[in-house]
Amino acid sequence: MTGSAPATSHQAPSRQAMLDEWYPVGLVSQLDRAGRHTALMGEKIVVAGDADGRPIVTGGNGRILPVKVRYGHVWSSVGAPTKDIFPIPEADQPGRRFVDVGVVRVRCSPLRAVENFLDIAHFPFVHTDVLGAEPHTEVLNYTAEIRPDVDEVWATQVKFYQPQASKSASGGITTEYMYRVPAPTCSVLYKTCPPRPSEWDVITLFVQPLAEDRCDVWPWMALFDDETSMTDLIHFQQMIFLQDRSILENQIPRLLPLDPGMEIPTRADLTSIAYRRWLKRHNFTYGAQLVAR
């Protein structure tokens, strides 16, 4: 998104609609008795493992929070979720390598972190000579929609030239993408798999909202790549996201504007527009700016 409208007033967003969502709060592989002291939507929590290695998440005043284990992560909620964590069928597909990338702290709205993940136009300028390069800067026509049958945001037919689409890629290729937003602070990216053109690599962004303007980002991948070491896979994805972090932490406003008059969209922003419309439809406004300040 480009440009910002002048700030005039502010309305505090509500956290109620997002209370009952599931959020990542730690890696299963890093559970220990001492626990990870962190936060979820402003509440201090502790993520620990019991004597048998099972996760326990404790909130304020020692209350036990709901817990699920999925995609190598511990998930929890400060509310009472009424639905399961969204499915990723590729997580059950034989032959894939599952990569726990770790966590990156970012001083931005958790919604901003997801929106940045959906943005294609920044590839040549932020991830130069890796995910994009000049003069290949044009974002070709693609489709973005809210799918009512699954209540998710999807972008399809996204194509972009990339000098190194993945760690396993040996040269520049035109990469095809599909973007999916199944939860307010999570996004799933399906992209061309260089070793297996008939399959999709899966790269996800699971975001833990610490506060409205601060989050922990947990990337996770399900790949077909038998050649690259796990260390190199992790370092490659961390490099990409650390390039994004400097951009995210300098965006103004830090919260995600939901008023369509606050920022000027371009043709490349179709997915962002659909995402913001979907957030407003469900009153997912924690971490959002509703009106110009």
Q: Tens digits of per-residue pLDDT, 200-218?
A: 999 999 999 999 999 999 9
pLDDT score at 175: 80
Please state, as a whole number, how many other Cβ atoms lie within 10 Å of the Cβ of residue 31.
20
Assign 263 a pLDDT band (cuts: 50, 70, 90): low
H/E segment holding residue 157: strand 152-162
> Could you tell me the residue range of the domain that residue 259 belongs to?
97-293
Residue 167 included in any domain: yes
Kindly tell me if the per-residue pLDDT of 72 is higher than 90. yes
* CA nearest to 115, candidates 268, 233, 291, 281: 268
Q: Is 63 exposed, middle or buried (0-12, 13-18, 19+ CB in 10 A)?
A: exposed
% of the chain at pLDDT higher than 70: 80
Residues 241 and 191 in one domain: yes
Q: What is the mean pLDDT of residues 108-135?
A: 67
CATH number at residue 68: 2.20.25.680
* Whole-structure pTM value: 0.86
**Domain final residue pick, 56, 82, 108:** 82
Residues 198 and 67 in one domain: no
d(CA 158, CA 80): 36
Q: Which residues contact 52 (CB under 8 A, 6 or more apart)?
A: none
Residues 108 and 77 in one domain: no
Between 44 and 142, the higher pLDDT residue: 44
Residues 44 and 183 in one domain: no
Kindly tell me if the per-residue pLDDT of 226 is higher than 90. no
Cα distances from 285 to residues 108, 111, 184, 257, 273, in angstroms, run 14, 9, 10, 10, 15
Residue 12 included in any domain: no
pLDDT score at 5: 36
Residues 196 and 252 in one domain: yes
Kindly tell me if the per-residue pLDDT of 229 is higher than 70. yes
Residues 103 and 78 in one domain: no
**Domain count within the chain:** 2
% of the chain at pLDDT higher than 90: 56
Structure tokens at 199: 């399959």
Note whether 40 and 23 are within 8 A (CB): yes
* CA nearest to 80, candidates 96, 64, 103, 104: 64
Tell me what the pLDDT averaged over the chain comes to: 84
